[in-house]
Structures are given as C-alpha cells and as structure tokens.
Amino acid sequence: MFRKIKLAYLFAIMAFFGWLSLPLETKAATDTCTPVIKVQKTKETSVKLKVTCSNLAKAKVNLKILVNNEDTDSDSYKKVTANLGKKGSVKIKINNIDSATSYNFKVKIKKSSEKKYSAYSSEASTTTKGSDYEPEIEKINNITENSVKLNISSEDLENEAVNVQAAYKKKTSWSTKTFSLTLDGDGEGSVTLDGLKSETLYNFKIRIKKDDDKSYSPYSSAKTATTDED
C-alpha cells in the first residue's frame, strides 16, 4: 500500500514539472526564426534591404548580412543591431558597393540577448545601376612572364578621357587595377597589367567610365591569356 502511494506521489511530481516546462518550450519555439530578406531599392553604389522575422516583432536583434559580389566572386559581411517593428521588419542600407555590379545578399538573425544566430535566409539578388557603355577587350598581346597588354575599345567614347578598371584572376578571386587614359578617335586604347605570376592562366575583363561619370559600365566579357615562363 505504501509503495503504491509513493509511486502515485512520484508520478504527480513528474506531471507537475512537465506541465511547468510546457510554456517554456513553447516560448523557446516562438523565439526561433529563419529571416526573409528582400531588395527594396537599388542605386549605383547602395542597396536598401528589408529583413523580416515575424516571430521577433519589436525585439532588439543582431543581424549578420552576407554581401556577395558576383562579378568579383568575393564576400563581405555587415553586422547591424536594430529594433524590429511591430511586424518584425527592419530596413537596412548597404553602402559603398560597386556600380553596375551583380550582388547576392543573405542574412541571419538573433535576439541581442542571445548567443546563437538563426540559419541564413534565402538569397536576394540585384544589379546596381551604372553607365550603359559596352567596353571590350579586343586583343591581349605583349605577354611576358609577369605582364600583359590589354587592347581595349568602347563605342561612344572616342577621344574621351576615361577610367578603366581591369579585373583579373588566376583561380577564383578577382583582383582589380584602375587606369586613367584617353581613348583615340576610334574609341580604342590599351592598359598594361604587371605583377602577374609566370606560366599562369589568367582571366581578364574590364569596365569603363568617363572621368566625370559617377559610375562604371558593366564588365566586358572575359578573355584569357597565359603568362610566359621565367
């Protein structure tokens, strides 16, 4: 008899603590969220994003935004502390990015009082605005063990003083160098890239703008060349 009473008492205690833990588990579930990110506005060198996590409405949160430059195949990160609105949304502006460039954005989120971030959101993509020139690499010559000459052209820029940004890569990450020159009467000119590695296959592409333009054109199609032996 005593044993039955003891067991009943034990079950009652277990049920009581199980009941107490239920609201805590429910609350923890409502605090988790995979955010949604959307591009709201795109300019030449900035993008406005809207991040939403309805489960965290009116909460103070930390955001970690992954900014992927698709043209240079490079990533950067922006960390933001913000207060979400009553619908769980906040608008974030990403500044100082390249014009006429394709970008992808993802975000993860956490309450400022917590340590662990959510999973990353799905991607949101956009292309920043830029001039409509269409530069080309006509030919690559004067190849040495550590340099190449890019012969370039761009219609509608005959006899114009321009800035040319040449991008180059040997594997996955793009590097860039910027040149100032005046194109000839046919809209043609050349730039020489040095400091390259010998016996290496490189990809090259360019973009262009007039001296008084704010933003560059889109990049040209890429062309390849292999540097000479030492």
pLDDT single digits (tens) 34-72: 999 999 999 988 999 999 999 999 999 999 999 999 888
Ordered structural domains, the chain, with CATH: 36-127 (2.60.40.10), 136-226 (2.60.40.10)
* Tokens coding 116: 């662990």
Per-residue pLDDT, averaged over 152-176, amounts to 93
Q: How far apart are CA 165 and CA 167, in angstroms?
A: 6
Residues 6+ apart with CB under 8 A from 196: 146, 147, 148, 168, 202, 227
Range list of β-strands (E), 132-187: 136-141, 147-153, 161-169, 175-182
Q: What is the per-residue burial (b if ≥16 Cβ within 10 Å, else e) of 27-55?
A: eeeeeebebbbeeeeeebbebbbebbbeb
Each residue's pLDDT tens digit, 182-192: 999 999 999 99
